[in-house]
């Protein structure tokens, strides 16, 4: 064999090895593409199932939300009542603070007056009793106004 024949033989062997490698690679690629084809064929059915489940989930969520809204609506009057009670107690406590502050101011004024005029004990006690009587009348009138309001 000549050198040309040996070269052609080596090229033939290289071509055969390359062809075998290429055939195996193409065969594996064919299997992968076949699997992708099967997956793509099942995809519309799977998407239909997912869409049905999503629709059911949204329907159940809407039902749950409607139920929660009904229950909150049923509890709303309770919250309004609690708010009214809090507002009433705030008004009552603020009016009590006002009465207490005015009593404190008036008793201090009476105390100063008795000291200035040096009237002392009995007259001071009578003045204090009269003051409490007048304040009681004023408180009763305030209570009547709040009850009628």
> Is it the case that residue 104 has pLDDT exceeding 60?
yes
Buried/exposed 58-81: b ≥16 CB within 10 Å, e otherwise? eeeeeeeeeeeeeeeeeeeeeeee
Instruction: Please report, for residues 55, 56, 57, 60, 63, the alpha-carbon distance to residue 69 in angstroms, rounded to integers and kept in the order given.
Output: 21, 20, 18, 14, 10
pTM, rounded to two decimals: 0.39
- Residues 127 and 107: beta-carbon distance below 8 Å: no
Tell me the pLDDT band of 9, cut-offs 50, 70 and 90. very high
Q: What is the largest CA-CA distance in the chain?
A: 154
């Amino acid at each position: 064999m000549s050198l040309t024949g040996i070269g052609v033989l080596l090229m033939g062997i290289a071509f055969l090895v390359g062809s075998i490698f290429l055939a195996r690679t193409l065969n594996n690629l064919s299997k992968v593409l076949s699997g992708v084809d099967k997956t793509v064929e099942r995809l519309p059915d799977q998407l239909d199932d997912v869409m049905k489940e999503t629709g059911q989930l949204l329907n159940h969520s809407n039902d749950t939300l409607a139920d929660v809204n009904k229950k909150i609506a049923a509890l709303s009057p309770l919250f309004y009542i609690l708010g009214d009670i809090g507002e009433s107690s705030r008004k009552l406590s603020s009016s009590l603070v006002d009465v207490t502050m005015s009593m404190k101011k008036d008793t201090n004024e009476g105390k100063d007056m008795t000291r200035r005029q040096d009237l002392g004990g009995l007259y001071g006690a009578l003045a204090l009793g009269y003051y409490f009587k007048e304040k009681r009348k004023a408180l009763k009138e305030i209570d009547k106004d709040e009850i009628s309001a």
